[in-house]
Amino acid sequence: MVLIVPAFTNIKSGTDVTSAANTIKGTLDTARTYAMTNSTYTWVGFFEENVSNPSSPNLDTPAVGRVIMSIVASKDGTNIYGSGSGEIDPTKLIQVGKLTKIEKVHLWTHTDTPSGTGSTFDTRPIVASAYCIGNSTPADSTTPFRYPVGSPAPAAQYTFRKMIEFSAGGQARINNSTNSPQTAAEIALEPTHGSVAPTSPPSNVVAVQITGFAGDVKIYRK
C-alpha cells in the first residue's frame, strides 16, 4: 500500500486567530531562515479564497474565509525577477515545504489608528497600508509567482499576488524590491463565519508585524 502525502497542510483555526497568527509567524520564520541558510531569495505568498466551497483551488466569490500561503525560493540564489515585471519564471523556483491553508479567517487591511507608542494592539507600530498584506492592499504585485513551480513549468493552480520577499541577508520587503525595507510590515487577520467577512472589525482581530531589516516577527492581539 502506498501512502499519499497531501501537498498542503490544512489548519482549521476559525475561533482562534492567535493560532492562525502563530502559523503565519512560523511560515515567515521558515522563509527567512531558508533564505539566510541557503544564501538565496525566498517569497511568501498570500492568497484568499471562498471557504464555502470545499474544493480548492476555486474561483468563487467572495474570496473570504480560507487563507493560503506558499513559500518559494530562487534556485540559483539570485533575485530572479530582476527589475522587470511579469510572473516569476516557475522553472527557476523551488517549493519550500507544503502549502498552508488556514480556514475561517480573513485577511484584513487595518482601519484603526494605533498610537505607535507601546507594545499592545492599540499602541503597536503604525504601518502604512502600502506595507500591509490585507484584503485591499497591496495592489497586485507586478511580479507574482504561481503554485506549483518546477521544470517543466506545471499548470498554475494558484497565482500569489500578495507577497513578502526575504533576501539572503534576511531583509523583508513587501512585493519585492519595488518597496524598500520598512520599519514594519503587517499581516492582519479577523475571524469569519463561512465566507462572510465582518462588517466591522471584531474584538479578536490580530496583527502580525515583521521588521524590514531584522526580520523580527511580533504578534499583536486585540
Task: Name the grid cell of 68.
Answer: 493560503
Q: Locate 139 and state its grid cell.
A: 495592489
Cis peptide before 154 (omega within 30 of 0): no
Domain ranges for the chain: 8-221
CA atoms of 150 and 153, how far apart (whole Å): 5
Distance CA 17, CA 59 (A): 24
Rounded Cα distance, 21 and 111, in Å:
18
Question: What local confidence, expressed as pLDDT, does residue 116 receive?
Answer: 92
- Which helix (DSSP H) or strand (DSSP E) does residue 66 occupy? strand 65-74
Nearest by Cα to 43 from 92, 83, 6, 105 = 92
The total of other beta-carbon atoms located within 10 Å of residue 85's CB is 12
pLDDT at residue number 220: 95
17-to-8, 20, 34 alpha-carbon distances in Å? 20, 5, 26
The span from the CA of 119 to the CA of 161, in Å, is 30
pTM of the model: 0.89
Q: How far apart are CA 43 and CA 180, in angstroms?
A: 15
Measuring CA to CA, how many Å separate 19 from each of 6, 13, 74, 109? 21, 6, 29, 19
Read off the DSSP letter of residue 186.
Answer: E
| Number of Cβ atoms within 10 Å of the Cβ of 30 | 16
Identify the bridge partners of residue 158 per DSSP, sorted by sequence position: 147
Q: What does the pLDDT read at residue 7? A: 56
Each residue's pLDDT tens digit in the chain (222 positions)? 344 444 545 555 444 788 999 999 999 999 999 999 999 999 999 999 999 888 878 777 888 999 999 999 999 999 887 656 678 999 999 999 999 999 999 999 888 899 999 999 999 999 888 888 988 766 667 788 999 999 999 999 999 989 899 999 999 888 665 567 778 889 999 998 888 888 888 888 999 999 888 889 999 998
Give the contacts of 196 (CB within 8 A, at least 6 positions apart): 62, 64
The pLDDT value given to residue 13: 44
> What one-letter code names the amino acid at 30?
T
